[in-house]
Amino acid sequence: MSESTVLPIRKAAEEIGIPDIETLRRAAKKFGALILVAGLEYVDRERYDAGVQTVLLTKIEQAARRARTKSTGGRSMGLVKARTERAPGLIMAKESTIVAAKKQVEDAPTPYEKSRAKKTLAQLEASLKSQKENFAKDKAELDRLLNEEPE
């Protein structure tokens, strides 16, 4: 840290172009560039500039990373991955529920309960069909996202 880079906080605020000294004080403290000597505040300009550069680079990388994980429609690759990983387990659970519902239809003591069980069974089968269709769509979408060329 050389003498020419350490400036009183008011002079540093003028050079940097920040009208509010409190804003500069918080930022300089965040970057480790605020120096207190006998109650006087100084800003190490080199450390402050390095801190600002680091924050800017981080923001740029975050924006680039966010752009890479989104498809053109805005759907997140992570969401599609999670759905495709979770779908086989959900489909198996639905199939076991359908087996139990079929047994319930067979064992129903009254015609009313039998009709209700058939209705539930039909809903479960329709739900299973849509789950399988959505799983196929998600797999195709994931393949498209993974094979897509980054811009």
**pLDDT tens-place string over residues 64-120:** 776 665 555 556 778 888 889 999 999 999 999 999 999 999 999 999 999 999 999
Q: What is the structure's pLDDT at 118? A: 93
Which residue shows structure tokens 């050079």? 15
Nearest of 89, 71, 76, 87 to residue 131 by alpha carbon:
87
The structure tokens listed for 24 are 């500069």
Give the integer Cα–Cα distance in Å for 135 and 49: 50
pLDDT at residue 32, as a whole number: 87
pTM for the complete prediction? 0.48
